[in-house]
Amino acid sequence: MTPLNPQQQAARVWFEALRDRICAAFEAIEREMGSDATFTYTSWNREDDPTGESGGGVRGVMKGSVFEKVGVNVSTVAGKFSPEFAKTMHGTAQSGTFFATGISLVAHMANPHVPAVHMNTRYLRTGASWFGGGADLNPAIIYDDDTADFHAAMRSACDAHPCADYAHYKKWADDYFYIPHRKVHRGVGGIFYDHLEGDFDGTFAFTQSVGEAFLDIFPKLVRRRMHTPFSEAEKHAQRIWRGRYAEFNLVYDRGTTFGLKTGGNVDAILMSLPPEVVWE
229 with 223: CB under 8 angstroms? Answer: no
Measure CA of the first residue to CA of the last residue in the chain; give whole Å: 47
Phi, psi of 194, rounded to the nearest 5 degrees = -155, 160
d(CA 280, CA 242): 12
Ramachandran quadrant class, 189 (left: phi over 0; alpha: psi -120 to 50; beta: rest): left
46 with 56: CB under 8 angstroms? Answer: yes
Which of 48, 82, 70, 71 has its CA nearest to residue 265?
48
| From 113, 118, 151, 185, the catalytic residue | 118
Which of 131, 128, 54 has its CA nearest to residue 92?
128
Q: Which residues are paired to 192 by β-bridges?
A: 134
Three-state SS string over 91-129 comes to: CCCCCCEEEEEEEEEEEEECCCCCCEEEEEEEEEECCCE
Q: Which residues contact 225 (CB under 8 A, 6 or more apart)?
A: 111, 113, 114, 115, 143, 146
Look up 236 and say whether it is catalytic: no
Question: How far, CA to CA in Å, does 46 sit from each of 76, 193, 270?
Answer: 10, 26, 15
Residues with a known catalytic role = 118
